[in-house]
Amino acid sequence: MTAERTSVPYQKIVFVCVNRREPHETCCAHRESEAIAAALKARVKALGLSRAIRVSKSGCQDLCAKGPNVMVFPDYVWYHGVAPGDVERIIEDVVRRP
């Protein structure tokens, strides 16, 4: 069986690291990244943009000390040190950038 190759069905994908490490280790999950992912997803849905913008939980982005980390493609924008209060600004950026 051969994989099918086609265009990505979203205009943008917002990757939110939700990787969880041991309690004494640094990771995005220890800094509310699950809540950040849920808030981003809810905002995209409320704006009726779920078919265009996909918020996707990711594994470790290898930038743990800077987390929580959010990366937006194809914008190639990296938000780090994200807090739940940053969600609205991130959404505005994602929606506004062509």
Categorise residue 32: left if φ over 0, alpha if ψ from -120 to 50, beta otherwise.
left
Q: Give me the count of residues in the chain.
A: 98
State in angstroms the smallest separation of the CB of 32 from ligand FES. Answer: 12
State in angstroms the smallest separation of the CB of 10 from ligand FES. Answer: 22
Query: Which of 41, 44, 49, 67 lies at the binding interface for ligand FES (CB under 6 A)?
Result: 67
Identity of residue 97: R
State in angstroms the smallest separation of the CB of 66 from ligand FES. Answer: 7
Q: Which residues contact 65 (CB under 8 A, 6 or more apart)?
A: 26
Binding site for ligand FES (CB under 6 A): 17, 19, 27-28, 60-64, 67, 69
